[in-house]
């Protein structure tokens, strides 16, 4: 998984609680992404980062926030989890030196919101 | 809105045959198209990239075609093996860094021995 770890790998939480997912990379890649994957929808971009402290919204950003204080770490926070946020979350990285758009994915975090 | 369709949710073929997966898109003008492989419980893994001005790309037993007029890509695995069983995703991009990436829902391929 290209030097990308995600933690936790599995989490069960209750509606209304805050949740933070962590993505850590050892590749020193500039760009980092958070996706969610749901049956029938494919991967959908939540937020991405193009550098330390530089982030932007993706297609499905409502209810999520992100932070990137170091090159290697990208955090995804659900301020108040809802059942619709039950999903598998993937972190990905890319670098300008790679073929355009090529992304390397982490192993995923399975989140269940009860 | 942008839409990507992959020919079927699941495809079963016999070992040794050629698997052909289809990716169709609408309302998008991609600069390139990529194919990824995803195994259960794992993240997607990049396989091949083909640019809008390329008709065909090959890598070992894999071949990808890209027809921007038909708005379609075909992904072929020749001499398929049970180890090729996985879900295959197509993705379209129009920038260098994936911010405008759009993924298809995937096709689950099963190669039967």
Instruction: Find out whether A48 and A58 touch, Cβ atoms under 8 Å.
Output: yes
d(CA B61, CA B82): 14
Please, what is the average pLDDT of chain A?
93
> What pLDDT shows up at residue B94?
84
C-alpha closest to that of A48 among A26, A7, A76, A20? A76
Nearest-by-Cβ selection for B43 from A42, A90, A94 = A90
pLDDT above 80: residue B1: no
Q: Which residues of A touch B42 (CB under 8 A)?
A: 1, 107-108
Nearest chain A residue (CA) to B37: A105
- B28 falls in which pLDDT band (50, 70, 90)? confident
Taking residues B21-26, report their average pLDDT: 95
User: Could you tell me which residue, B28 or B36, shows the higher pLDDT?
Assistant: B36
> What pLDDT shows up at residue B104?
92
> What pLDDT shows up at residue A13?
97
Contact assignment for A101 to B104 by CB distance below 8 Å: no
Tell me how far CA of residue A28 lies from CA of A52, A70, A93, B97, in angstroms.
11, 10, 9, 15
Touching B: A residues 47-106, CB under 8 Å: 48, 50, 56, 58, 90, 92, 94, 96, 99-106
- B7 falls in which pLDDT band (50, 70, 90)? confident
Q: Which residues of A touch B43 (CB under 8 A)?
A: 1, 4, 90, 92, 105-108
pLDDT above 60: residue A1: no
> What pLDDT shows up at residue A99?
81
pLDDT above 70: residue B13: yes
Nearest-by-Cβ selection for B32 from A43, A101, A108 = A101
> What pLDDT shows up at residue A40?
78
d(CA A78, CA A86): 11
Taking residues A33-49, report their average pLDDT: 92
- A49 falls in which pLDDT band (50, 70, 90)? very high
pLDDT above 80: residue B100: no
Mutate to test the interface with A, among B6, B36, B54, B97 (most CBs of A within 10 A): B97
pLDDT tens profile B33-58: 999 999 999 999 999 999 999 999 99
pLDDT tens profile A81-110: 999 999 999 999 998 888 877 899 999 999
Torsion of CA B5, A103, A106, A62, to 10 degrees: -60
Instruction: Please give the structure tokens belonging to residue B102.
Output: 């759009």
Contact assignment for A100 to B49 by CB distance below 8 Å: yes
Nearest-by-Cβ selection for A104 from B46, B91, B97 = B46
> What pLDDT shows up at residue B98?
63
């Amino acid at each position: 998984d290209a030097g990308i770890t995600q933690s936790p790998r599995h989490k069960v939480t209750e509606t209304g609680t805050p949740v933070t997912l962590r993505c850590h990379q050892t590749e020193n890649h500039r760009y980092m992404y958070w996706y969610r994957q749901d049956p029938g929808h494919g991967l959908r971009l939540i937020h991405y980062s193009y550098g330390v402290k530089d982030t932007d919204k993706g297609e499905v950003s409502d209810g999520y926030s992100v932070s990137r204080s170091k090159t290697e770490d990208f955090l995804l926070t659900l301020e108040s989890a809802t059942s619709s946020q039950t999903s598998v979350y993937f972190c990905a990285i890319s670098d300008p030196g790679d073929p355009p758009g090529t992304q390397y994915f982490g192993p995923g975090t399975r989140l269940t919101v009860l | 809105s942008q839409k990507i369709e992959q020919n079927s949710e699941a495809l079963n073929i016999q070992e040794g045959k050629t698997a052909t997966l289809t990716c169709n898109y609408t309302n998008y003008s991609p600069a390139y198209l990529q194919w990824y492989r995803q195994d259960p419980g794992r993240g997607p893994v990049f396989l091949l990239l083909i640019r809008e001005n390329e008709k065909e790309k090959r890598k070992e037993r894999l071949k990808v075609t890209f027809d921007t007029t038909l708005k379609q890509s075909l992904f072929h695995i020749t001499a398929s093996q049970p180890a090729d069983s996985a879900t295959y995703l197509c993705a379209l991009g129009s920038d260098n860094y994936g911010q405008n990436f759009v993924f298809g829902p995937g096709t689950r391929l099963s190669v039967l021995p």
